[in-house]
Amino acid sequence: MRPAVVSIFGGAVLERVSRLLRIPATGFAFALLGLGGLCLAVTVFPAIRATTRDQALRTRRTQATIALAFNLYLVILRLLGVMRLDVDGRDRLTRVYGTLIVANHPTLLDVVLLMALVPHAQCVVKHALWRNRFLGPVIRAAGYIRNDTEAADFIGHCRAALAQGNNLIIFPEGTRTVPGEPLRFQRGFANVALHVNVDLLPVRIECNPITLTKGLPWYQVPPRRAAFRVSVGERIAVAPFMAHDSRAVGARRLTSFLENYFA
C-alpha cells in the first residue's frame, strides 16, 4: 500500500477508536457529575450551612464551592479526552462585579462552564431544579433565582443579587439552542437590565464539533473531541435602550439587538 493510503487508513482507524473510547468516558463523566453533586449536597453544603450563620457569607461560600467543583470537573473532562476548552477574554470575567451576564446556550455543559469561570455567580434556574430533592437545597443555598416567580418578584430578586455584588447569569433562550434553528430570546433579561439599569456582558459559547445539544443523547459523541470556545465580549450599555418612551419598546429593541449579536 502507498504511504498516503496507509496514512489515511490509519487516521480513520484512530479516529474511530478515539470515538469508541469517548463513549464510556462521556458516560463516566455524567455519572461523576451526578454522584459529585449528591456527595456535596449531603456533606459539604450541610457543613457550610451549619457552620456559617451569616446568610450572605453562607451564600458566598456555597458559590465558591460550586465554582471549585466545576473547575475540577472541567479538568477531569479534559483528562478523559471528552473536550478541549479555550477562553478568550478571561480577564474580563475575573474583574466582574454586580454584572448581568448573558450567554447563548448551545450545549449541556454551558452552565458548568460559566459557573466555573464567573466569580460570585448566581444563575436563573428552572423551577424543576429549584424543587429537585438533591439539587434544590444547593440551588437555594447558592442564592440562585427561580424563573417562574411573578415578574415584580423576579426583578426584585435580580436587583438584590446584583446590588450585593453577585454576577447574575442568564441564558436568554431559556433552553438549549435547537441546531439549525434561529435564535429566539425571551425578554426577561432585557426587562431586568432596563428595570435595574445595569449594563450587559455578553458571553458567546461555541462548540465544534457540536455535542450535547437539545434532543441529542449523550452517547452520540462527535467524531472528534469537542472543542469549546468561550468568548467574553465588551460591555453593552443599556442607556440607549432606556431612552425610548416605553420600557416595553426598549426591551424589544434590546432583545433584538442581542439576538443579532449572537447570531
What's the pLDDT score for residue 11?
61
CA distance 65 to 44: 9
Average model confidence (pLDDT) across the chain: 88
CA distance 179 to 227: 17
Q: Check pLDDT > 50 for residue 178.
A: yes
Grid cell for residue 250: 426598549
CA distance 52 to 56: 9
Q: Identify the domain containing residue 244 by its residue range.
A: 3-262
Amino acid at 107: T
Amino acid at 247: R
CA distance 95 to 118: 9
- DSSP label at residue 230: E
Structural contact between residues 19 and 66, judged by C-beta atoms closer than 8 angstroms = no
What's the pLDDT score for residue 41?
83
Q: Which of 128-132, 146-150, 209-213, 222-226 has the lowest mean pLDDT?
A: 128-132
* pLDDT tens column, 242-253: 987 788 999 999
Q: Check pLDDT > 90 for residue 10.
A: no
CA distance 44 to 229: 31
Structural contact between residues 199 and 189, judged by C-beta atoms closer than 8 angstroms = no
Number of structural domains (the chain) is: 1
Sheet containing strand 145-146, strands side by side: 83-88, 226-232, 200-208, 100-103, 167-170, 121-125, 145-146
Q: Check pLDDT > 80 for residue 216.
A: yes
Q: Give, in order, the Cα–Cα distances in Å from 111 to each of 72, 155, 259.
A: 14, 21, 19
Q: Which of 1-15, 89-103, 214-228 has the lowest mean pLDDT?
A: 1-15
Read off the CATH number of the domain in which 149 is found.
3.40.1130
> pTM of this prediction?
0.89
CA distance 77 to 229: 15
* pLDDT tens column, 56-99: 888 889 999 999 999 999 999 999 999 999 999 998 988 899 99
- Give the length of the chain: 263
Structural contact between residues 155 and 192, judged by C-beta atoms closer than 8 angstroms = yes
What's the pLDDT score for residue 213?
92
* pLDDT tens column, 39-65: 888 899 889 989 998 988 888 899 999
Q: Check pLDDT > 60 for residue 19.
A: yes
Q: Check pLDDT > 50 for residue 6.
A: no
* pLDDT tens column, 115-144: 999 999 998 887 777 777 666 777 777 888
Q: Check pLDDT > 50 for residue 5.
A: no
Structural contact between residues 253 and 244, judged by C-beta atoms closer than 8 angstroms = yes
What's the pLDDT score for residue 29?
92
